[in-house]
Structure 1
Amino acid sequence: MSGEKCSYISVPDRELRRLRERDSRLRNLESDLPGRLEDIRRQAKREMESHLAPIENRIRQQERAARDMRGQIDAILAEARQKKETARRFFVDLSKLVEDTGNLPHGRFAPGKLEAVSRHVEDARRNYENNMPEASLSTAQQAYWDIADLREEVLSKQKEFIRIRQAALQEARILLETARANQKYQLEMGQGADSEVLALEVDYWTRGELSSFEAKVKALEKQLEKGKDTFTIEQVKEILSKITVMKPGLNEIVDRARENILASQLRVNMAEMVVDALQGQGFVLEDSAYEGGDERNAFVAKVKNVAGSEVVTVISPVKDEAGKNAVSIHSYDETFVDEDTLLERAEEVSSILSEGGLEAEAPVCAGKANPQYRDIAAVRKGEALKDADRQSRG
């Protein structure tokens, strides 16, 4: 009789702490990261200053124009007989001011307001053309103060936009540079003479999570670059908020990479414990391999006894549950073996694992043994994984 027994193995909290803290130490290989981040900050400051300089110049020009316009208003009030000529000059200057304001990003930062002021200017022009200089000047004067307020509002919001956008760009670029610096680590396992240094490729051990993280940050950076002349303050604030929320995710990805490599090592250790348990039942190790030759996948160990019976143990990571593995025992017996004998094998394995400091649930029957696990060469090629992938795609 052939069958499969399955048990879930959990690593207790104390064991996880030991694996994480005492038996594993991460060393980042990018020692020059602080200097690179400081370069990004300096570049961001230079870019912001270059963007703000033209706006500051416009503000100074506006202040000079305001003084000139106030002088004209004073002249109008002092020289009544010259009102019509003064009004004409005033309209010329006011029209230039409205035209110049039209070149500012008023649509983004003060939508609709320039149109309202332009209507007042048009009313004043009609009064002037109808030989009503006093009414014309009164309306034009109010339009001037409105356009001055509008220019101040637009320029102020433009400065705010530039500061927020540059802050968001800086945060995005720092996060990208930090992500790139976290691509590789050295993971030191064990203590003293028993220590072992492993190369840790974060993206590999997280199945592309780091690449996906970088792509998302890069997309936000691209949005900020493309939206330089179109985004509103609210839009850049939203992107800055997204970047801020993403920051902790980078450390979480690095932590998961370490957890996954530790879990991979743990699966090998567990397989050795299972083989030891089965050796007590007359089995000897024949072969072992990671599924698909990939250390992130299940570890498979095959034992055989003199009667020709074979037992394959598959230790698989449980998705989204750190420190937990599913242990399935596949029995391929040449002679009849009853259900009680199969269960006894599984219970002894669970007992050995529990004695080793792992928490093993009681084994349950999961059906017939998977014939593909019997051939370790096929396991190395990932045949079971390929079949599962084909079945998932229908």
Structure 2
Amino acid sequence: MSGEKRRYVSVEEQELRRLKEQESRLRSVQQDLPERLNAVREQARREFQQRLAPLEQRAQQQEKETQKLRSNLADLEKDTQKRLQQQRQEFQTAVRESENRQQQALQRETSRLESAMRQGFEQQRSEYLRITSEQRQEYTRLIAQQDQKFTQLIAQERQARERGQQILQQQIDRVVTDIAQEKQRKAKIAEDLLADVETIWSQINRDYQHQRFAPGRLADLHRGLEIARNNIQAGVTEAAIATTQQTYLDLADLRLELEQKEQEWLLFYNAAWEDLKSLITEVQANRECEIEVGQGNEAEKFKLEVDYWVNGRLSQYEQQLNDLESQLKAGESTLTTEQVKELGEKIAALQPILGEIVEQAKLAILGSQLRVEIADKVVEVLESLGYTLVNPNSDAVYEGDDQRNSYVVKVKNIAGDEVVTVISPEKEFGSNVVSINSFSETIVDETATQQNAKAIFDALSEEGVQGDSPVECNQQAKIEYQNLEEVKRRQVGKQTGM
């Protein structure tokens, strides 16, 4: 005959706090994480400088082509190139100064991060996220600074263009007595102006990522050039000059906009890339952690395979990061600023999750230890009632030989009666189901089994493990747990409890 006594139990809140905080500390096994993160940031800095290099090469090419312009736009373009060159130099100087500030901060932060790692994983994560936040503020300051610089540059450009328009108008208004000569002179002005503006249009088409940052705008402006050419062919030179001049003004505005958007994109992209690579590095460094349970000489240390204890959640998380890395890498020449910002926001949203995953692993191993402690208390009570562990090495096992699963222990008395206790985890940390199964070749004494169960649950209550429900009594015990060798070999799904 057999029977089961079953009850849901949970650890008191005070005991939970003790398990989580007072007597359990989590640390990274990899102590070189600060050096790894510094290496990632240094690599990101070098890659950023490589992305800036084409800006300077573009400027040199445009400067050469400006010397070949035929109209009064040549002087305007030379002055524009000087102002753009100054802006680019100021931008690169600002980037270098920001990098220097970050590098100096990293030297200070390395010691703080190392100290936080010694204190525990929670402090490490808090320090890491603070450092990341400060670095993002550097990029935010840079973006705001560039917005201000371009506002000033646009104002200077418009003033210069107004002066250029006045000079051009003076050339057009110059009095010529010969009508044929007048017509020929205006046609020459129109043709030279159109040729120069077509050159500038071609430069923007060739050198800038206009379809990414201002889709369709450049194509729209080409229609103005076509209208001007038709006007020249029709002999309407003044209309051609006006149309070409307006097209140039629009092209100049577009070029400044593209310069600004490209620099802004570079800042957002580099920030997202650095954040992501740092987070991937941190994940790789924390695949294993060490948990210390207890204090002083009684403290025990356990090495923690994080992915194992969270049922593969760390691998899934890392795959998310790898997918984002692939998107950033593949989209370096196609992603818009908004798309990069969205990816950056996704990365920022994922940053705290690593801490949650490692904390989940910590609670899982503590929960596993708690099931052993509950089993020990049950055995202690049953031993006082005449039961013993026949073979301590084989009469207590994890189901499926998996520490995340139920813990099963069996005791036997002199009459051959067996009691098998199954402690199964629930979803919430500290909650378990305790199932006490009695097996006997004779009739099971229901009164005795109830008394045994009461003694067990009373003892657990004294240890801070309270019953959450009345004791359930079932006539049939769980026969599938009687043979512990089979329980150990059993292929079972992973439990979801902590």
TM-score (norm 2): 0.72
1:9 aligned residue? 9
Matched, 1:68 2:87: no
CA distance in 1 between partners of 2:253 and 2:60 (Å): 14
Residue type of the alignment partner of 2:464: G
Two-structure CA RMSD over aligned residues (Å):
2.4
Segments of structure 2 that go 5 or more residues without pairing to the other structure are 67-71, 78-163, 175-181
Matched, 1:98 2:201: yes
Once the two structures are superposed, what CA deviation does each residue of 1:275-300 show, in whole Å capped at 9, x if it has no partner? Answer: 12222333222311011111111110
CA distance in 1 between partners of 2:169 and 2:62 (Å): 21
1:234 aligned residue? 338
Give 1:91 shift: 1.6
**Residue pair 1:59, 1:152 contacting (<8 A) in 2 also:** no
Give 1:59 shift: 5.9
Give 1:121 shift: 1.4
2:192 aligned residue? 89
Matched, 1:323 2:430: yes
Matched, 1:364 2:472: yes
Matching residue within 94, 118, 139 for 2:222: 118
Give 1:135 shift: 0.6
CA distance in 2 between partners of 1:61 and 1:331 (Å): 89
Once the two structures are superposed, what CA deviation does each residue of 1:153-204 show, in whole Å capped at 9, x if it has no partner? Answer: 1221121112111110100000011111112222222233322222122122
2:484 aligned residue? 376
Residue type of the alignment partner of 1:78: Q
CA distance in 1 between partners of 2:339 and 2:35 (Å): 31
**Residue pair 1:291, 1:298 contacting (<8 A) in 2 also:** yes
Relative to structure 1, the CA distance from residue 176 to residue 334 in structure 2 (aligned partners, 3 Å threshold; closer, same or farther) is same
Relative to structure 1, the CA distance from residue 347 to residue 146 in structure 2 (aligned partners, 3 Å threshold; closer, same or farther) is same
1:333 aligned residue? 440
1:275 aligned residue? 379
**Residue pair 1:267, 1:315 contacting (<8 A) in 2 also:** yes
Residue type of the alignment partner of 2:480: Q
Give 1:151 shift: 1.6
CA distance in 2 between partners of 1:108 and 1:59 (Å): 20
**Residue pair 2:212, 2:335 contacting (<8 A) in 1 also:** yes
**Residue pair 2:40, 2:278 contacting (<8 A) in 1 also:** yes
2:433 alignment partner, SS class: strand
Relative to structure 1, the CA distance from residue 152 to residue 115 in structure 2 (aligned partners, 3 Å threshold; closer, same or farther) is same
Residue type of the alignment partner of 1:281: L
CA distance in 1 between partners of 2:448 and 2:76 (Å): 103
1:30 aligned residue? 30
Give 1:4 shift: 2.6
CA distance in 2 between partners of 1:367 and 1:293 (Å): 28
CA distance in 1 between partners of 2:170 and 2:3 (Å): 105
Once the two structures are superposed, what CA deviation does each residue of 1:199-247 show, in whole Å capped at 9, x if it has no partner? Answer: 1221222222222211111111111111111111111111111111111
Matched, 1:291 2:395: no
Give 1:76 shift: 6.4
**Residue pair 2:3, 2:444 contacting (<8 A) in 1 also:** no
**What is the identity percentage for the equivalent residue pairs of Structure 1 and Structure 2?**
42
Matching residue within 237, 240, 246 for 1:142: 246
Matching residue within 216, 235, 239 for 1:131: 235
CA distance in 2 between partners of 1:186 and 1:201 (Å): 9
Give 1:140 shift: 0.5
Give 1:146 shift: 0.7
2:351 alignment partner, SS class: helix
2:46 aligned residue? 46
**Residue pair 2:62, 2:203 contacting (<8 A) in 1 also:** no
1:314 aligned residue? 422
Residue type of the alignment partner of 1:12: E
Matched, 1:301 2:404: no
CA distance in 1 between partners of 2:6 and 2:451 (Å): 13
Of stretches 218-227 and 308-317 in structure 1, the one that deviates more from structure 2 is 308-317
Length, aligned pairs only: 386
**Residue pair 1:331, 1:369 contacting (<8 A) in 2 also:** yes
Give 1:138 shift: 0.3
Relative to structure 1, the CA distance from residue 365 to residue 98 in structure 2 (aligned partners, 3 Å threshold; closer, same or farther) is farther
CA distance in 2 between partners of 1:75 and 1:22 (Å): 81
**Residue pair 2:398, 2:488 contacting (<8 A) in 1 also:** yes
1:285 alignment partner, SS class: coil
CA distance in 2 between partners of 1:203 and 1:159 (Å): 40
Give 1:144 shift: 0.6
Segments of structure 1 that go 5 or more residues without pairing to the other structure are 390-394
1:392 aligned residue? none
2:422 alignment partner, SS class: strand
**Residue pair 1:343, 1:363 contacting (<8 A) in 2 also:** no
Matching residue within 74, 78, 90 for 2:171: 78
Once the two structures are superposed, what CA deviation does each residue of 1:28-57 show, in whole Å capped at 9, x if it has no partner? Answer: 222221122122222212222221232355
CA distance in 2 between partners of 1:171 and 1:95 (Å): 42
Residue type of the alignment partner of 1:85: K
TM-score (norm 1): 0.90
CA distance in 1 between partners of 2:205 and 2:475 (Å): 76
Matched, 1:353 2:471: no
CA distance in 2 between partners of 1:217 and 1:228 (Å): 17
2:451 aligned residue? 344
CA distance in 2 between partners of 1:348 and 1:125 (Å): 102
Residue type of the alignment partner of 2:204: T
Once the two structures are superposed, what CA deviation does each residue of 1:306-325 show, in whole Å capped at 9, x if it has no partner? Answer: 33322211111112x11211
1:377 alignment partner, SS class: helix
CA distance in 1 between partners of 2:401 and 2:370 (Å): 16
1:31 alignment partner, SS class: coil
